[in-house]
Structure 1
Amino acid sequence: MAEPSKKEEANRVVDEGIDVGISRLTEEKIQSVINSVLDNETGARLKTYVETCIHCGLCSEACHYYLSHDKDPHYSPVGKVKQTIWEMIKKKGRVSPEFIRRAAIIAHTECNLCKRCAQYCPFGIDIAYLMSVVRRIIHRLGVTPLYIQDTAHSHSVTMNQMWVKGDEWPDTLQWQEEEAQAEIPDLRIPLEKEGADIMYSVIAPEPKFQAQLIYQAAYIMHVAGVDWTMPASVGWDNSDMAMFTGDNEIMGRIKRAHFETAARLKVKKIVMGECGHAFRSVYDMGNRWLGWSMPPFTIVHAIEFYHDLIKEGRIKIAKKYQPPITLHDPCNVVRGGGLHEKARYVAHALCENVIEMHPNREHNYCCCAGGGVINTGPPFKMTRIEGNRVKAEQLFGAKSKGAQVLVAPCHNCHSGLEDIVHHYEIGLDIKFFGDIIYEVMEKPE
């Protein structure tokens, strides 16, 4: 494979987490850590994938980085594997610190773990898993990018990703309850209610930056007559960036706190807000690290929750949303969770005109923010924006058909798509399903 077409040295990104970590490495330590992970934390799955791949390159056309960089093979899924884990295996861990630096950047900022490529592989090889193994090695070597490592530290210290202190969480809920009582005087956000049907959980950016989403959720719950509660202490945040840094130990702590909180409150199921990675962490990742093949509770994403409320008539639509919308399919709830048709049921129930972007459903392009990539922070912002030109082209296609609003039922998707829409000057408003439900639902006098 030829040298990358981009001038890496001229465009070398400074990231203290990577650079300081690299300065502390020796080739002996690198070899020891790589072989420790390969020998003790992987098995038949890794061996099968590595030995099955025939280097056909069919995965390439699936990758938004590859398509957005004029089909540069370095950005193809198989190219990223060959530059990282395959080289580690081939050389039995004998690689240089500079190799590890490049591997950290590839695994953390040039792959969203979106799993679109697995659908194009004739053998179903899960390259997201291979990149996760690379991230695990990077974590064990102490070379994780600074911003996402800071988020993992927040999880470790506060059990949420935004350094929200203990008293700030219930204070925010009380504030939103009081705001909502201006519309419905008897509305409550029930805290620590034992035996409720559901525990509603959110990600930490909501109380930190988007408290109105909690307001809207409380309003929807009240009008629909839902028996619900929220915890007042740790376990309320369902997000998990440690899952994406390879820090499986902290990931396990976060998920255990979440499940144990639901068990303590004796709820029947957990309903999660509009977030994709958090959904993945609870139904597919954290539970497995803790030894459960399936989570100990029924896990319901907001899309399915809204679908059921609307279908059962517990939410009635006063007047459909008039601006034409297009629907983004988040990777972790559509490719990962199979909620594409329920998302469309909700979209058509709420909106007068739904314009499909193409491709869609499980073939939709990633937002390029998920998989922890947006959490690597400002040093790599343009990496993901330039790496998702193909998403901008997809959005332009929907806009050319009349779409004015982009509905993205996932927090990371929201943030990533906002950057795409702004940078490429697409001119779409971006909303959650909850925003539209609150606007169009029948409300009490």
Structure 2
Amino acid sequence: MEENQKPNHEKLDEGIDFGVSRLTPEKIEAAINAVFNRETGARFRAYVETCIHCGLCADACHFYLSRDKDPRFSPAGKVKQTVWPMLKAKGKVDAEMIRQAARIAHTECNLCKRCAIYCPFGIDIAYLMSMVRRVIHKLGATPLYLQDTAHSHAATMNQMWVKGDEWIDTLQWQEEEARAEFPSLRIPLEVEGADIMYSVIAPEPKFQAQLIYQMAAIMHTAGVRWTMPATMGWDNSDMAMFSGDNEIMGRIKRAHFDTAARLRVKRIVMGECGHAFRSVYDMGNRWLGWARPPIPIVHAIEFYYELLKSGRLRIARKYEKPVTLHDPCNVSRGAGLHEMARYVADQICEQVVEMHPNREYNYCCAAGGGVINCGPPFKNTRVLGNKIKAEQLFDAKSRGAQTMIAPCHNCHSGLHDIVHHYEVGLEIKFFGDIIYECMEKE
């Protein structure tokens, strides 16, 4: 082919483009067959061979609905463009196909599993897309920003390159701030035998330290025997889980659970994050061979539910602005905490305006699944790919909602982009924000 006849592909992402430029047919074939033949089994084959192309999964996908129902964005359409060609050709596909597979699997699917509850056969397309991401990882073509986060996990055991002394300094800083309001408050470090080890994700000490302050105030007011670790294992987030780097995912979860075991705590309570919860109860633990986490772990929603239900935490006055509740995929659809979330919302808020649909049928925020961690090159793709969520938010606002509660960090970030891009005009809060504001204090 003459030079001026070569395909002129627009640059996609520095990580993807560089990785794809180094591929050979032999490397592609070997990686695909290694993943599909050695890392999958009956589950993978059953999903691929059961699909009858009925299309019932299509209307479950926010990308499909937001893109004028373009069939390429339907869940089955994504499988048709990625998994099926790889299987049919037994791995003998070209580099451009890998490039497009990386774009589809990483930036046009949030692994939210909404399509699985609409499929008449229960086919888990999120699992199939995860296997495509695994292939992409093996080929070294992961999007740059997501790979950088995975590198941070590998080097520092947290996703924000927070160094050991920075972590401890942040906790001491928040303790000093809180003692102005609660003189006897402590953020206890390295307390063996505590009832609870509280763990957070790295964006909290890096950018949102006030969330640690708020939880310390809640723990103190409720009289909880708790601790936080001073060593690696404090960060429960796991973007390697979404980059396909299962080996790093396993290291992160091992460090997390080993830290809790070393401190001999009765259980782990984690902050308001969805993907991190998924990594400790459904994926990282299974990669390590544990069907269940070796130490009981609960999400903040369940913890707040327990404190309010038992009366250990009392509300002085309810939050007055009408709120609407966003159900994060990984804690509602994935873990069934939607009713507990509503109990908490009802206890702390005067009025809750439901989104429609809601609970396990709620639309994804378009940021989870590692999609937001693919960074600025794909921000517009992500936001435009969830116009349907903006319409859902406008509907809740038209019925009186002024504040949206989103008990998940990625959801906060994704919804923030949607609210600003579409000018929805809703304030976004965590449960902890409102509980701290409204609870009885010393």
1:77 Cα shift? 0.0
Q: Is residue 2:174 matched to residue 1:169?
A: no
Aligned to 1:381: 379
Cα pair 1:199 1:262 within 8 Å, conserved: yes
Aligned to 2:434: 436
Q: Is residue 2:423 matched to residue 1:425?
A: yes
Corresponding residue to 2:221 among 205, 219, 223: 223
Aligned to 1:390: 388
Measured at CA, do residues 393 and 418 of structure 1 come closer, stay the same or move farther in structure 2, by a change above 3 Å?
same
Give the letter aligned to residue 182 of structure 2: I
Measured at CA, do residues 161 and 429 of structure 1 come closer, stay the same or move farther in structure 2, by a change above 3 Å?
same
Give the letter aligned to residue 84 of structure 1: T
1:36 Cα shift? 1.0
Distance in 1 (CA, whole Å) between partners of 2:84 and 2:242 is 20
1:14 Cα shift? 3.4
Corresponding residue to 1:342 among 340, 343, 347: 340
Q: CA deviation digits over 1:243-300, x for unaligned, max 9?
A: 0000000000000000000000000000010000000000110110000111101110
Q: Please list every run of at least 4 consecutive aligned residues from structure 1 whose deviation after the TM superposition is greater than 3 angstroms.
A: 9-14
Q: Is residue 2:105 matched to residue 1:107?
A: yes
Corresponding residue to 2:254 among 243, 256, 281: 256
Aligned to 2:3: none
1:11 Cα shift? 9.4
Distance in 1 (CA, whole Å) between partners of 2:119 and 2:357 is 18
Q: Is residue 2:35 matched to residue 1:45?
A: no
1:368 Cα shift? 0.3
Q: Is residue 2:292 matched to residue 1:283?
A: no
Distance in 1 (CA, whole Å) between partners of 2:374 and 2:105 is 11
Aligned to 2:360: 362
Q: CA deviation digits over 1:204-235, x for unaligned, max 9?
A: 00000000000000000000000000000100
Aligned to 1:5: none
Summarize the alignment of residues 30-429 of structure 1 with structure 2, pairs less than 5 Å apart: 30-429=28-427
Distance in 2 (CA, whole Å) between partners of 1:91 and 1:383 is 30
Cα pair 1:13 1:379 within 8 Å, conserved: no
Cα pair 2:116 2:125 within 8 Å, conserved: yes
Distance in 1 (CA, whole Å) between partners of 2:9 and 2:210 is 39
Distance in 2 (CA, whole Å) between partners of 1:285 and 1:26 is 31
1:13 Cα shift? 4.8
Aligned to 2:27: 29
Cα pair 1:13 1:380 within 8 Å, conserved: no
SS across alignment from 1:354: coil
1:12 Cα shift? 3.7
> TM-score, normalized by length of structure 1?
0.97
Q: CA deviation digits over 1:131-175, x for unaligned, max 9?
A: 000000000000000000000000000000000011100000000
1:380 Cα shift? 0.2
Distance in 2 (CA, whole Å) between partners of 1:186 and 1:351 is 28
Q: CA deviation digits over 1:35-59, x for unaligned, max 9?
A: 1111110111111111111111100
Give the letter aligned to residue 131 of structure 2: V
Distance in 2 (CA, whole Å) between partners of 1:403 and 1:289 is 41
1:32 Cα shift? 1.0
Distance in 2 (CA, whole Å) between partners of 1:33 and 1:316 is 55
Q: CA deviation digits over 1:339-375, x for unaligned, max 9?
A: 0000000000000010001000000000000000000
Give the letter aligned to residue 442 of structure 1: E
Cα pair 2:314 2:440 within 8 Å, conserved: yes
Distance in 1 (CA, whole Å) between partners of 2:169 and 2:56 is 52
Distance in 2 (CA, whole Å) between partners of 1:178 and 1:210 is 16
1:28 Cα shift? 1.4
Aligned to 1:14: 12
Distance in 2 (CA, whole Å) between partners of 1:176 and 1:131 is 40
Measured at CA, do residues 237 and 126 of structure 1 come closer, stay the same or move farther in structure 2, by a change above 3 Å?
same
Cα pair 1:329 1:340 within 8 Å, conserved: yes
1:185 Cα shift? 1.1
Cα pair 2:274 2:409 within 8 Å, conserved: yes
SS across alignment from 2:297: strand
Q: CA deviation digits over 1:77-107, x for unaligned, max 9?
A: 0000000011100110111100000000000
